[in-house]
Structure 1
């Protein structure tokens, strides 16, 4: 993928069911940055990396009841994103489909 900003609609399987949100990802020479809008909060992520379609990043999802520190790994393409967020209370599977910008 080329350097630039990509927007995705995402779905997360959480203990209370499927939650929908969005994600903006910016690529710049292998560095990955952006934010996840999920659980009615926008949370930037840090320490992002991209190489040959593989991604990894970390962050904190803030909910009404707690802060979920996570590390995520998965794949990214122009047509979709798929990653698993591992956090202290278990994993959250997230799947995204490319959104036209």
Structure 2
């Protein structure tokens, strides 16, 4: 039997994983889109996970863009906030509010 350094009633805290954003992030993009790549790199550099919707192949994503009337890329959705075009300033503002 191994000995333990714990006293009765003492608990061991487990390391916590990095807190995930409470908001879901979706990025509607196209391959080869420079602005889309820049937003993806920014999100990755901040340790944020996101769902990328490739508009070249995703019919639901294409329908979403058409229904909303979006023509600029990327479209970044953070929770209920929708940002059309390369608006890194707006993305940072929304993320900082969380």
> Is TM > 0.5 for Structure 1 vs Structure 2?
no
Q: Which has the higher helix share?
A: 2
Compare the two structures and name the one with the higher strand fraction: 1
TM-score by length of 1: 0.28
Q: Relative contact order (alpha carbons < 8 A, sep ≥ 6): 1 or 2 greater?
A: 2
TM-score, normalised with respect to structure 2: 0.28
Structure with larger Rg? 2
